[in-house]
Amino acid sequence: MAGCLQANPTRVLKFGSHKHHVVPRASGFSASAVSLSWNATSGSTYLWHMILEDVLENYRPGGGRLRVFVVTDGGDTDSPPPYRGMEGMDPMMAELRERGFDVEFHIVFVSCAGVVEGALAGLLGLELGVRGRDLE
């Protein structure tokens, strides 16, 4: 994934109980430095609401497609309603679209497969074995 991200200007942020800038917006970065920052010290997962705030603070709509790559080890436990949990992505996306953003999300779960499958199955009302969700 690092190769794809380095092809364009990229910011790398770590969201936990707060936002931590790992790499400022730049073309190219050290994958090793980013890996060293991924150390599970954030303590919780505050995700969809913080991503919404970050996009609104740092980008303007209409400038092309914004690609957001999310690598997470858990569901959003700390965002305020309605952004909390797996389903919290839906109101975040709705608000970004209402404000004119064209956002493409790529989400990677780094967790025990059973935990992720169970969360997705519960959210989507499906049997275990789910491997993803069409977010369009």
Q: What was the pLDDT predicted at 48? A: 92
Q: What was the pLDDT predicted at 8? A: 72
Q: What was the pLDDT predicted at 43? A: 67
Domain assignment present for residue 130? The answer is no
* Ranges of the chain whose pLDDT falls below 50: 128-131, 136
Domain assignment present for residue 91? The answer is yes
Name the domain count of the chain.
1
Domain assignment present for residue 106? The answer is yes
> What domain range includes position 49?
2-124
- Please report, as a single letter, which amino acid is at residue 24: P
Q: What was the pLDDT predicted at 46? A: 84
CB 92 within 8 A of CB 49: yes
Output the pTM of the full model.
Answer: 0.70
Phi and psi angles of residue 135, each rounded to the nearest 5 degrees, phi first: -95, 5
Q: What was the pLDDT predicted at 128? A: 46
Q: What was the pLDDT predicted at 55? A: 93
Domain assignment present for residue 57? The answer is yes
Domain assignment present for residue 65? The answer is yes
DSSP state of 62: T
Domain assignment present for residue 112? The answer is yes
